[in-house]
């Protein structure tokens, strides 16, 4: 494990689902994060493992020689950390976004192409029972061909640590918060991105510097499939939950939506809106191990990681520059 | 009354709310619509009025000399019908959109500027109890300053008359269906449009020619207020209702949304999401008469009609051309 910046705790909690995996070593890109991570390990995995602590994550990769590393360092170090793992053919679970700049992303893809590393990202919402049930319904063909995906991410801002306040260390609200929704667009549609037009604004960000409080991103995908992603950090503290994640997938023969953690659908086989039974959650870590061992596939492929990261960064650029952008 | 193409029936049904108004004459832009309108009059207003029938709507304007005309002819005749009314200083209730092309819209605005006609449009959703209650909540200041508006229009397509199948007679899904949602953006935000980026697609329109089955429109408004509008004609016939209209208005201190005809909000004054009591529906026709008589104001001003029509036509052009467009 490197770092405790984002959702690395998901991997720690997932260790119980992957009995082949032993947590052998931890390090971080920041000294205080090593202590935080050590504390998380004691709380969550300490009953089984006593990982070695390394002050230098590169040294850890060299000396502990892990099969898999979870990259959850400061966001601006993700690309360098992944690249070093790829050069050592270590498999990587990376917290999103994998890179904060397009040039970093190109470098990273190239490094990965030359390695034998498997790669996935902590897109944990693909493992959410309602979102996965919605995906299975789409796959069943009951909704026909997907023609549009509308997604919403709305979070409480509160008071955030300083790294949120600068573009160089946060990357922007579209990559950080929007990446989940942009991942849904690709996942549910099964289509590749062609064009993006986005706007964002920093107004009303409660003293959070560069952080964008609102964003809207439109995508055109292959075959004229359309997507709209809306993002905000303006959810009131009184709302009763941290986030308000929603997606609506519109097919030629019906639609499915997820809100409040429950999937609902309408199609020719039912009268009116009906609830979709939640799917078993599954385990990202167990699936990733199965993929490495040639026994299956993780729900988030390396191609997904590259394309969704690119879509986030192009959307951010579109919003920064006030231009419609084409994917290459 | 001219025509029975769209929602003119709202005016007929509204006559009961405006006792000063007498329905004196009817005509249409199409012979079969005159018969349809005459039938509607018999059914809805016949107990009170026996309007004269005119084969030629221009002749009706000259001979019946009405104070107010409702323009609900074929969409491509709206601009000409409104302009003739303006030239005679007749007040106009127009079915949206007021014009199908930007050059027509400019001509119409100019003609209106030189006339004494009051103008409003059949944006009946501003008179819906839940949507109006949401607007009142925004006006109360409980949600702070509006920073984003997300709106959805989703309709069952079914089999439509031929005029839906050609751009020249239908105008496109963004102006026809999206106009309501684009009107909400202006109404709830109270802000003027600055930029638009939109996509639309005709795929899966079930043999409806030019009709777009899906669309997404992003707007940037004054002060970086953002809006996302999604539109589709893919609602399954089994869904249980014709349309699925939704809006979500996000302020600095809370948000309100309308779905399934009910408004819900979250703000500092309440714990969790709470239902917003419906407002009295009000009457567009009665408000319009009050405005003409100097006793009040209609919820949809002439400035709203011009700017929302322009926003629809620019969004359509953005989607046609694949370009981000600026408002002048």
- A200-218 per-position pLDDT tens digit: 999 999 999 999 999 999 9
Nearest CA in chain B to A215: B226
Percent of chain A with pLDDT over 70: 99
Please judge whether B195 and A322 are an interchain contact, meaning their C-beta atoms are less than 8 angstroms apart. Answer: yes
The stretch A128-156 carries a mean pLDDT of 98
Please judge whether A239 and B150 are an interchain contact, meaning their C-beta atoms are less than 8 angstroms apart. Answer: no
The stretch A218-235 carries a mean pLDDT of 98
Q: pLDDT band for position A47 (50/70/90)?
A: low
Residues 6+ apart with CB under 8 A from A311: A182, A185, A186, A193, A196, A219, A327
Partners of B323 on chain A (C-beta within 8 Å) are 324
The better pLDDT of the pair B258, A49 is held by: B258
The stretch B132-146 carries a mean pLDDT of 98
pLDDT tens digits, one per residue of B296-311: 999 999 999 999 999 9
Q: pLDDT band for position B186 (50/70/90)?
A: very high
Flag whether pLDDT at B322 surpasses 80. Answer: yes
Please judge whether B147 and A234 are an interchain contact, meaning their C-beta atoms are less than 8 angstroms apart. Answer: yes
Q: How many CB atoms lie within 10 A of CB B51?
A: 20
pLDDT attached to residue B43: 85
Question: In the sheet that B91-94 helps form, which strands lie side by side, from edge to edge?
Answer: B68-71, B91-94, B119-121
User: Which of A200, A204, A238 shows the shortest C-beta gap to B266?
Assistant: A238
Measure the CA angle with vertex B136, ends B133 and B141; round to 5°.
135
User: Which of B215, B272, B323 shows the shortest C-beta gap to A240?
Assistant: B272
The stretch B69-88 carries a mean pLDDT of 97
Given its phi and psi angles, is residue A173 left (phi above 0), alpha (psi -120 to 50 degrees) or beta?
A: alpha
Looking at CA atoms only, how far is residue A145 from chain B in angstroms? Answer: 9
The stretch A30-45 carries a mean pLDDT of 88
The CB-based long-range contact list for B75-81 (8 Å cut-off, 24+ gap) reads B75/B5, B75/B6, B75/B100, B75/B163, B75/B169, B75/B170, B75/B171, B75/B176, B76/B100, B76/B168, B76/B169, B76/B171, B77/B3, B77/B29, B79/B104, B79/B105, B79/B107, B79/B108, B81/B2, B81/B3, B81/B29, B81/B57
Query: Any bridge partners for residue B91, and if so which?
Result: B68
Looking at CA atoms only, how far is residue B268 from chain A in angstroms? Answer: 6
Percent of chain B with pLDDT over 90: 92
User: Which of B214, B238, B268 shows the shortest C-beta gap to A148?
Assistant: B214
The better pLDDT of the pair A20, B46 is held by: A20
Please judge whether A204 and B252 are an interchain contact, meaning their C-beta atoms are less than 8 angstroms apart. Answer: yes
Flag whether pLDDT at B162 surpasses 90. Answer: yes
Tell me chain B's radius of gyration from C-alpha atoms. Answer: 20
**Which ipTM did the prediction report?**
0.95
Residues 6+ apart with CB under 8 A from A161: none
Nearest CA in chain B to A260: B273
Flag whether pLDDT at A235 surpasses 70. Answer: yes
Please judge whether A240 and B148 are an interchain contact, meaning their C-beta atoms are less than 8 angstroms apart. Answer: no
Looking at CA atoms only, how far is residue B301 from chain A in angstroms? Answer: 28
pLDDT attached to residue A52: 95
On whether the CB atoms of residues B233 and B244 are closer than 8 A, the answer is no
The CB-based long-range contact list for B264-267 (8 Å cut-off, 24+ gap) reads B265/B134, B265/B137, B265/B142, B265/B143, B266/A235, B266/A236, B266/A238, B266/A239, B266/A240, B267/A236, B267/A238, B267/B142, B267/B143
- Euclidean distance between CA atoms A137 and A255, whole angstroms: 9
Question: In the sheet that A254-259 helps form, which strands lie side by side, from edge to edge?
Answer: A274-276, A262-267, A254-259, A246-251, A146-154, A226-232, A214-221, A193-201, A325-326
Please judge whether A201 and B218 are an interchain contact, meaning their C-beta atoms are less than 8 angstroms apart. Answer: no
The stretch A58-71 carries a mean pLDDT of 98
Looking at CA atoms only, how far is residue B239 from chain A in angstroms? Answer: 4
pLDDT attached to residue B44: 80
Please judge whether A235 and B227 are an interchain contact, meaning their C-beta atoms are less than 8 angstroms apart. Answer: no
pLDDT attached to residue B47: 67
User: Which of B199, B203, B268 shows the shortest C-beta gap to A236?
Assistant: B268
């Amino acid at each position: 494990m490197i770092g405790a910046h984002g959702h690395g705790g998901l991997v720690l909690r997932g260790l119980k689902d992957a009995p082949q995996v032993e947590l052998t070593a931890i390090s971080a890109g920041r000294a205080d994060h090593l202590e935080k991570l050590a504390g998380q390990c004691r709380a969550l995995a300490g009953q089984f493992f006593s990982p070695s602590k390394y002050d230098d994550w590169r040294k850890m990769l060299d000396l502990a020689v892990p099969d898999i590393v979870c990259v959850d360092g400061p966001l601006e170090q993700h690309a360098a950390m992944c690249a070093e793992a790829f050069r050592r053919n270590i498999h990587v679970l990376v917290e999103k976004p994998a890179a904060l700049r397009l040039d970093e992303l190109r470098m990273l893809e190239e490094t990965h192409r030359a390695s034998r590393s498997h790669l996935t990202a902590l897109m944990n919402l693909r493992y959410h029972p309602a979102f996965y049930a919605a995906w299975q319904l789409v796959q069943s063909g009951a909704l026909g061909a997907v023609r549009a995906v509308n997604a919403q991410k709305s979070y409480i801002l509160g008071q955030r640590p300083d790294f949120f306040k600068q573009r160089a260390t946060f990357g922007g609200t579209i990559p950080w918060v929007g990446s989940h929704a942009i991942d849904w667009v690709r996942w549910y549609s099964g289509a590749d991105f062609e064009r993006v037009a986005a706007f964002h604004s920093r107004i009303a960000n409660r003293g959070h510097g560069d952080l964008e409080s609102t964003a809207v991103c439109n995508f055109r995908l292959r075959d004229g499939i359309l997507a709209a992603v809306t993002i905000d950090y303006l959810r009131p503290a009184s709302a009763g939950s941290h986030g308000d994640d929603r997606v609506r997938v519109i097919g030629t023969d019906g639609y499915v939506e997820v809100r409040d953690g429950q999937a609902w659908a309408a199609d020719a086989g039912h009268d009116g809106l009906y609830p979709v039974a939640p799917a078993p959650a599954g385990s990202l870590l167990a699936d990733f191990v199965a993929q490495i061992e040639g026994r299956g596939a993780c729900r988030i492929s390396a191609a997904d990681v590259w394309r969704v990261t690119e879509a986030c960064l192009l959307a951010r650029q579109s919003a920064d520059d006030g231009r419609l952008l084409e994917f290459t």
